[in-house]
Amino acid sequence: MGEMTDMMTRKLFLDVCMDIEGLCADLYHYYSKIYVDVPEASRLWKKTALEEENHRKQFELASLLLKEAEYEVGYDSLRRAYLVQYKLVKLTEIIKDNKPDLLTAVSKVLEMEEKLADLHVYTALNFKEESMQKLFKAMSDSDCDHIAALQRYQTILYLPQCEMGG
């Protein structure tokens, strides 16, 4: 019975992670469309959306290999994943009701990406299976790349404001 519960928890965790990556991709595609008049922003959103879609596919593959891979998903990891999913759904609802200015959009997404990177790093520590650990590490590295690209763009957006103020 314990093994079945463990398998269900792992499957549930991967399903939640797939959903999170899909929600991120949808949000970035949405941003790409609503900021189409700012080409560099639209390209950044589109690139990031496609990367999130790739992450989703990686979770899907992990889910298909569920029985072959040895790893544990603790209650805390599952709880963290649900919390990130919930916050992402709420953020998406707010954004779709009130289009944020570009700087706010970038800032909010940076906060979200940092939470995702934290989830991936925290979860990767629990894998016995080297391939699963590498998968989560690769996604964490990719999240760090997203964060760096968004931080660079945020800095660029701040520059004109600084020049006007000084």
- What residue segments make up the domains of the chain, in order of their start? 2-165
Residue in the structure block whose two tokens are 């080297």: 130
The answer for residues whose C-beta is within 8 angstroms of residue 51's C-beta and 6 or more apart is 142, 146
Fold of 2-165: Ferritin (1.20.1260)
Check pLDDT > 80 for residue 164. Answer: no
Average pLDDT over every residue of 142-155: 84
Residue that wins the pLDDT comparison between 97 and 135:
97
Q: Which of 136, 94, 132, 134 is nearest to 111 (CA)?
A: 94
What pLDDT was estimated at residue 15?
Answer: 94
For the segment 131-149, the average pLDDT, to the nearest whole number, is: 78
Residue 127 confidence (pLDDT) above 70: no
Residue 53's alpha-carbon distances to 48, 50, 60, 68, 99, in angstroms, are: 9, 5, 11, 24, 23
**Residue 108: other Cβ atoms inside 10 A:** 15
**Residue 104 in this model has a pLDDT that exceeds 60:** yes
**pLDDT surpasses 90 at 2:** no
Binned at pLDDT 50, 70 and 90, residue 160 comes out as low
DSSP-derived secondary structure letter, 71:
B
pLDDT the model gives residue 1: 47
Query: Which segment of 2-11, 38-47, 67-76 scores lowest on mean pLDDT?
Result: 67-76
Q: Which H/E stretch holds residue 67?
A: none
Q: Is the pLDDT at 125 greater than 80, yes or no?
A: no
For residue 96, pLDDT over 80 is answered with yes
Q: Which two tokens stand for residue 51?
A: 């990367």
φ and ψ at 127, to 5 degrees?
A: -90, 130
pTM for the whole structure: 0.84
Q: By mean pLDDT, which of 55-59, 73-77, 97-101 is the weakest?
A: 73-77
pLDDT tier at 149, thresholds 50, 70, 90:
confident
